[in-house]
Structure 1
Amino acid sequence: MKFAKIAQKLALWSGSPKTFLGAITLICLWGLSGPIFHFNDTWQLIINTSTTIITFLMVFLIQNTQNRDTDILHLKVDELLRVTKEAQNAMLGLEALDLKELEKLRKHYRSLGEGLTIDLDGTVVQEKGQQNLKNC
């Protein structure tokens, strides 16, 4: 939990306009210092090493905040599914499905979008422009 709180605060800080402006300022100062250091290898190594370390650490920070945001989004959608009478409550457990099962479900919903309604067991319930074929 401590890491999540720290990661969230760092993500907010690193994504702020002030931090971005600070980074641009540092890069400009580094660039302007080039003639002073005669653009030598150490001068170049400073920016290369700094940006590599920052990028490496930011990958973990971004992944943590992305995972958190995804979890929050899933919970919100799950709650909407739960309270909607017409929703398929079976959708609440999609995380447990493997890729083949998800692709099958994706095809099912793609066909719904094309005007063909299919029951979860695969039987056609309603076709575009026709009356409901199944008694509800």
Structure 2
Amino acid sequence: MTNNNWFSKFSTGLSTMAGKPATFVIAVALVVVWAISGPMFHFSDTWQLVINTSTTIVTFLMVFLIQNTQNRDTAAMQIKLDELIRALDGAHNALLDLEELNEKDLGRFRRRYEQLAEEARSALRSGGTDTDSPFIDQSDSDDDKGRKPRKDAH
């Protein structure tokens, strides 16, 4: 785990540094210096190759560093969302760990929540409220059976 830890710290630090305004200004300055130096090198193929190679290498390496940071951030956010779902009374525990489902199952949940959203909008248009938590589907999860829908205090 130590090997992974140093890379996580390195990628997080470098990703943070790369996202700072000063880093952008340095990158712009390097491009400006390169462009200004064009006449000195007679806009040669080598002069063009320097910027092309440099940007390709930096981009290639940054993709992996940023992806590593994003994967960890996404995993942490999913765990936090799972904890919120788990901790809320009336929340559907069947929604925990949704990111691990296949596209077909995700589509089924998405369609159900789109339907709930449309029903809530219709209720609002007709003067009702949209503040309950109905069951997703009785067959979706044994965890939801027997639970009463939560009513918000609004």
TM-score range, shorter chain: 0.7 to 0.9
Structure 2 residue 98 is matched with structure 1 residue 81: no
User: Which of 32, 57, 60 lines up with 1:56 in the alignment?
Assistant: 60
Q: How many residues align?
A: 124
1:46 corresponds to 2:50: yes
Report the AA paired with residue 76 of structure 1.
K
Equivalent residue, structure 1, for 2:123: none
Cα offset, 1:121, TM superposition: 2.8
Matched residue, 2:130: none
Return the alpha-carbon distance in structure 2 between the equivalents of residues 65 and 59 of structure 1: 10
**SS of equivalent to 2:7:** helix
| Alignment map for 1:117-128 (pairs within 5 Å) | 119-121=136-138
Letter in 1 for 2:56: T
2:78–2:97 Cα contact (<8 Å) kept: no
Distance in 2 (alpha carbons) for counterparts of 1:77 and 1:96: 14
Checking the alignment, whether the CA contact within 8 Å between 2:82 and 2:96 is kept in structure 1 is: yes
Q: Percent identity?
A: 50
Q: TM-score, normalised by structure 1?
A: 0.84
Greater relative contact order: 1 or 2 (C-alpha under 8 angstroms, separation 6 or more)?
2
CA contact (8 A) 1:108 1:118 kept: no
Please say if 1:115 is aligned against 2:119.
Answer: yes
Structure 2 counterparts to residues 1-136 of structure 1, below 5 A: 1-115=5-119, 119-121=136-138, 136=148
Is the 8 Å Cα contact of residues 38 and 47 (structure 2) preserved in structure 1?
yes
Structure 1 spans left out of the alignment, 5+ residues: 123-134
List alignment gaps of at least 5 residues for structure 2: 121-133, 140-146, 149-154
